[in-house]
């Protein structure tokens, strides 16, 4: 199965931590996510968040994929199971045409290709509440681009290493998580000067084998 990888270590360091406005953590609070780019990375992470009963709106430029998501739901196939969940989805054009504020969005998960970053961010950056942040789940170093649209402290970098692909509209094949690191651009440090590292179930295992969780959702 092809290997989907996105982002880079925030602040030049590998930081696996809980960000209060982003994603990682073991809490049960239900959050509202906007997933821009519903392919391999966005589909897997957004799909598991939806399965955990978080509210997720998917936005994607592929009209066939969006139509399948709206009419048939999102299907995720793994080696051990296949599950389908109803989801809300909009095409990129329909989303860009809207002007209503996104007051209920807690975090945006940006999973488009690097060359499409600015086109993807422009339709929502001015519509977000001041408490929302943007988490970059991308192939490329795009944090500085996002920070021009939202404040740097609301721009959350990530390194995503997972095995997934989208072979047909509405369906994502998921082969498992390699690692997921999330953190602010300045690479926050603890009192001892080391990078702040946290995450549900952290037992000191290698990140490549670590079960990561997004706000109570195992992936």
Burial of residue 174 (number of CB atoms within 10 Å: 0-12, 13-18, 19+): buried
Q: Please compute the mean of the pLDDT values over residues 128-138 and round it to a whole number.
A: 90
Q: How far apart, in Å, are the Cα atoms of 198 and each of 132, 154, 178, 192, 212?
A: 21, 19, 17, 15, 10
pLDDT of amino acid 4: 56
Is the CB of residue 217 less than 8 Å from the CB of residue 54?
A: yes
Q: Please compute the mean of the pLDDT values over residues 113-141 and round it to a whole number.
A: 88
pLDDT of amino acid 144: 78
Per-residue pLDDT of 72-107, as tens digits, reads 999 999 999 999 999 999 999 999 999 899 999 999
- In this model, does residue 165 exceed pLDDT 80? yes
pLDDT of amino acid 146: 82
Is the CB of residue 46 less than 8 Å from the CB of residue 196?
A: no
Is the CB of residue 212 less than 8 Å from the CB of residue 177?
A: yes
Query: What is the signed CA dihedral for 71, 173, 61, 33, rounded to 10 degrees?
Result: 80
Q: Rounded CA gap, 105 and 53, in Å?
A: 15
- In this model, does residue 35 exceed pLDDT 60? yes
pLDDT of amino acid 45: 93
- CATH number of the CATH domain containing 141: 3.40.50.720
Q: Which residues are within 8 A (CB) of 45 and not within 5 positions of it... i.e. 6 or more apart?
A: 35, 109, 111, 137, 160, 214, 219
- In this model, does residue 11 exceed pLDDT 70? no
Residue 218 forms part of a structural domain = no
- Reduced to 3 states (helix: H, G, I; strand: E, B; else coil), residue 50 is helix
Residue 106 forms part of a structural domain = yes
pLDDT of amino acid 56: 97
Q: What is the DSSP letter of 208?
A: G
pTM over 0.95: no
Joined tokens for residue 26: 């073991």
Structural domain range at position 132 = 3-208
pLDDT of amino acid 187: 58
Region of 179 (left: φ > 0; alpha: ψ -120 to 50; beta: rest) is beta
- In this model, does residue 6 exceed pLDDT 90? no
Is the CB of residue 217 less than 8 Å from the CB of residue 27?
A: no
Residue 213 forms part of a structural domain = no
Residue 216 forms part of a structural domain = no
Residue 214 forms part of a structural domain = no
Q: Please compute the mean of the pLDDT values over residues 179-207 and round it to a whole number.
A: 45
Residue 62 forms part of a structural domain = yes
Number of domains in the chain: 1
């Amino acid at each position: 199965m092809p290997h989907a990888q996105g982002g880079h270590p925030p602040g030049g360091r590998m930081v696996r931590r809980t960000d209060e406005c982003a994603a990682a953590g073991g809490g049960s609070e239900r959050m509202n996510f906007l997933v821009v780019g519903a392919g391999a990375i966005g589909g897997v992470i957004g799909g598991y968040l939806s399965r955990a009963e978080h509210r997720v709106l998917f936005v994607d430029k592929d009209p066939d994929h969006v139509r399948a998501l709206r009419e048939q739901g999102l299907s995720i196939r793994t080696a051990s199971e296949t599950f389908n969940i109803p989801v809300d989805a909009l095409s990129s054009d329909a989303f860009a045409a809207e002007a209503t504020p996104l007051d209920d969005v807690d975090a945006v998960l940006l999973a488009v290709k690097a060359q499409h970053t600015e086109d993807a961010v422009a339709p929502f950056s001015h519509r977000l509440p001041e408490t929302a942040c943007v988490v970059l789940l991308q192939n490329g170093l795009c944090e500085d681009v996002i920070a021009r649209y939202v404040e740097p402290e609301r721009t959350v970098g990530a390194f995503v290493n997972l095995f997934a692909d989208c072979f047909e509209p509405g369906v994502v094949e998921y082969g498992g998580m390699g690692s997921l690191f999330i953190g602010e651009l300045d690479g926050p440090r603890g009192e001892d000067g080391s990078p702040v590292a946290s995450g549900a179930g952290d037992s000191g295992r290698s990140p490549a084998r670590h079960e990561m969780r997004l706000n109570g959702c195992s992936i």
